[in-house]
Every structure is written in C-alpha cells, then in structure tokens.
Structure 1
Amino acid sequence: MDFGIPFISGLCCGLTIGVSFFAVRNYFGSFKTAKECVKKLASREEYKLVLVVRTDLNMSKGKIAAQCGHAAVGAYEKALKKDPEGLKSWQMTGQAKIALKTDSVDEIQQIAKNAKQMGLITSLIRDAGRTQIAPNSITVLGVGPAPKDVVDRVTGHLKLL
C-alpha cells in the first residue's frame, strides 16, 4: 500500500495546525474556553508611546532622532518590568510612537509628574552634553506605552513635532 503524496500532505497540514495552535496559545496565554480567547482579543484597546521633544533646545533632526530613540528604548525596558501585559498590547496594536513638541523644560517636567501620578511609565532623557546640548539637559520624555486615552490625558494638549 502506497501512502505517498496524500499521507505527506496530511502530515504537513496536521503539523502546521498543531504548531499554529501552540504559537497562538503561547502568544495570547492559555485559555479554558474559546470565549475567553475571543474576549481577550476583543479587549485589546489601542496603545501608544508618546515622545515629547523640547524644541527650545534647537536640536538638529539627527539629535532629536537619537534622543527619541533613547526615550523609546528606556520606556520599553521599563514596560518589560512594570507592565509586560501592556507592552504586549502595544506590540499587538502596531507599536504606535507619536512625537509631540513642547518649548519648555517646566512643561516637560510637569507632564512627567502628571504621568507618574497616573501610574504611567515615563522615560525622561537627559543629554550627556558631548555634542550640541549642555550636559544634563532634559531633551525628551517618553510616556507609555499605555492605552491611547490615558496617555492623551497628559499629552493631548501638545502639537505634533
């Protein structure tokens, strides 16, 4: 009896389905029912990470990009420890990163204070002062990742960079 191509096709399909179920279970966590899985998927609201950039420092585009990178990495590292579920939600909803601007150190410090009071992750970046900016100058504040509506409570008044 020759099993041949139908057997191999069936085996491949079975392995693919098995690996898919395993991957989905590991990605979303284990569920007792299908309803639990659908509920968890539906409950994932959009998350975002906001980068508040000081424009009064007159940083070059490259400097702004580097400082935003520092803030994004800092926020990510804090989220890994403090809010891994929120981090996963942010990753599943597109990893939105929004750059906003402020023109004062006082405002960026107030936003950081308000965000912390709300329990949001913050990453306040101070420059080392090796190139364009005076040492220890606050350049960028990362807020989040967190639900969009929560982040907007502390940054919604700012304009896009």
Structure 2
Amino acid sequence: MKQAIVARTDIGMGTGKLAAQVAHASLSAYEKAETAARNEWKSGGQKKIVLKGNGEKQLQRLADEARREGLPYALVRDAGHTQLEPGTVTALAVGPGGENVVDKVTGDLSLY
C-alpha cells in the first residue's frame, strides 16, 4: 500500500506552502479511502512519495486516471489567503491503494 502526492512545480510555491498543500492532499485522499484500505495503509507505515507535477491539466488527467482505477484521490485548491489566487489547484493525492495500482497512475513522474 502507498500514496503518491503530486505537487505542481509551475506555480512557485514556497517550501512551507508546498508542505501544507501536500499535507492537505494526503489527508483528504486518506479520508476518502475505504476503511479497510485506510487500516492497511496505516498499519503498514503509511508509505507515501511526493512527485513533481507540471500543471493543472496534468493533475486533472491523473485524477481522472485514479478515478478509473478505483483509487481514492483528492485535488487540492488553494483558498488564496497567502501566495496563490483562490481556487488554484496545487496538489493531487492518489491512494492509499495497492502500490502497483498507484504506480500505474503516477509511476512516470519524477520525485520532488
């Protein structure tokens, strides 16, 4: 079991902003997962990776792929209180789910 979080590299988020958006995505997708998947992921160490995304269109496409694969996912839109315009898509979490299925969706991306 693992979770992949894809964070945009094209919008110039600061380090703290990036960390917050990744955390929002991770928790939101976790909350959407079925109880059995949540429990298995938690008991297995909550494996997660953060990957580079190059834009909103890519994150939307990956979200569609996750949905087709039956994986929980969460797209994060910023509230716009600090660095970004309200509604800016910042990150996507895919999973928790089977590592092979998560990799099917996000396996071509580079580590952040």
Aligned to 2:65: 114
Structure with the higher helix share, 1 or 2 = 1
The percentage of aligned residue pairs carrying the same residue is: 46
1:138 aligns to 2:89 (yes or no): yes
Deviation, structure 1 residue 104: 1.3
Which protein has the bigger strand share?
Answer: 2
Unaligned stretches of 5+ in structure 1?
1-46
Counterpart secondary structure, 2:87: coil
**TM-fit CA distance, 1:76:** 1.7
Which runs of 5 or more residues in structure 2 are unaligned? none
Amino acid at match of 2:30: Y
**What is the alpha-carbon root mean square deviation over aligned residues?**
0.7
Q: Could you tell me the TM-score, scaled by structure 2's length?
A: 0.97
**2:27 is the alignment partner of 1:73:** yes
Name the structure 1 match of 2:7: 53
CA distance in 2, matches of 1:85, 1:128: 31
Superposition misfits of 4+ residues, deviation over 4 angstroms: none
- Considering Cα pairs closer than 8 Å and 6+ residues apart, tell me whether 1 or 2 has the greater RCO: 2
